[in-house]
Amino acid sequence: MTITPQGAIFPNGEQLTWQNIEKIKKSQVNCFVVEQGTIKAIQVFSEQTNRVCSLLPTKGTPSMLIAGFTMHRIVDIDPLQDTLKKVATISPIVGRVLDTATGLGYTAIEAAKTAEQVVTIELDPGAQQIARLNPWSQALFDHPKIQQIMGDAFEVVSTFEDESFSRILHDPPVFSLAGELYSGVFYQQLFRVLKRGGRMFHYIGDLNSKSSGTISRGVLRRLQEAGFSRVVRRPEAFAVVAYK
């Protein structure tokens, strides 16, 4: 990048004025696209879900905000480190992997490094639009092992064959945004599509907090009722891991 008295010039010729650099610096909650000398916040209103999705800057890898909720841990941890912790709970990542909630694709991209195939599902076209504009999500669109499906995981998972995945990454939004993804009926479907000997990561939230503690008790019970032989708390990943 070249710095001039007028601003900055990117290697591709795009220019950014000092005034726009100031605006970007002041914004705590938005990332921007620079196009033909203008800046545009990476933010969309999703007609399908009536929610605003945006790319949230952090000190490291960006996160996504949906209806004001961050889709990754960002306090004292970078979304990429958060992703590594999530995926490590069900290592080794082998065979076909189901990723129930694509988001920015970080879990899908990490899993694709060793999996045979990753099938990832996203409900919200707005979230997908944000991922398209995020440089850290690009493998989602061009990694040959990643298959993206747009739809509601609650419906899509019921169409998969029995025992067709070795690992499941279940990383839903908070309970208040996606309660059905924490339901016994959905857990029965996840159990059905998981191979015997398979493992499932399930993000819940800080298990030591009051609200997530309460949610986790219900989750543990419903997972056991769905048939999982063992469910283990993994507080370091804000999650539980279920074994079939």
Ligand X SMILES: C[S@@+](CC[C@H](N)C(=O)[O-])C[C@H]1O[C@@H](n2cnc3c(N)ncnc32)[C@H](O)[C@@H]1O
Q: Which of 103, 200, 216, 242 binds ligand X (CB under 6 A)?
A: 103
Read off the tokens for 15. Answer: 């220019």
Q: Which of 106, 165, 191, 238 binds ligand X (CB under 6 A)?
A: 106
Task: Choose between 16 and 115: whose C-beta lies nearer to ligand X.
Answer: 115
Determine contact, residues 69/177, Cβ cutoff 8 Å.
Answer: yes
Helices and strands per DSSP (H, E), number in the chain: 8, 16
Determine contact, residues 147/120, Cβ cutoff 8 Å.
Answer: yes
212 binds ligand X (CB under 6 A): no
Give min distance, CB of 156 to ligand X, in A. 7
DSSP annotation of 115 reads -
Task: Choose between 170 and 244: whose C-beta lies nearer to ligand X.
Answer: 170
Task: Choose between 181 and 240: whose C-beta lies nearer to ligand X.
Answer: 181
**From residue 124 to residue 153, what is the string marking binding to ligand X with x (rule CB under 6 A)?**
x--x------------------------xx
Q: In what order do the strands lie in the sheet with 230-234?
A: 146-150, 117-122, 96-99, 165-170, 194-203, 239-243, 230-234
Task: Choose between 35 and 47: whose C-beta lies nearer to ligand X.
Answer: 47
122 binds ligand X (CB under 6 A): yes
Task: Choose between 172 and 198: whose C-beta lies nearer to ligand X.
Answer: 172
Separation of alpha carbons 123 and 172, rounded Å: 11
Q: Which of 90, 119, 123, 226 binds ligand X (CB under 6 A)?
A: 123
Interacting residues with ligand X (CB under 6 A): 66, 71, 83, 101-107, 121-124, 127, 152-154, 171-173, 178, 181
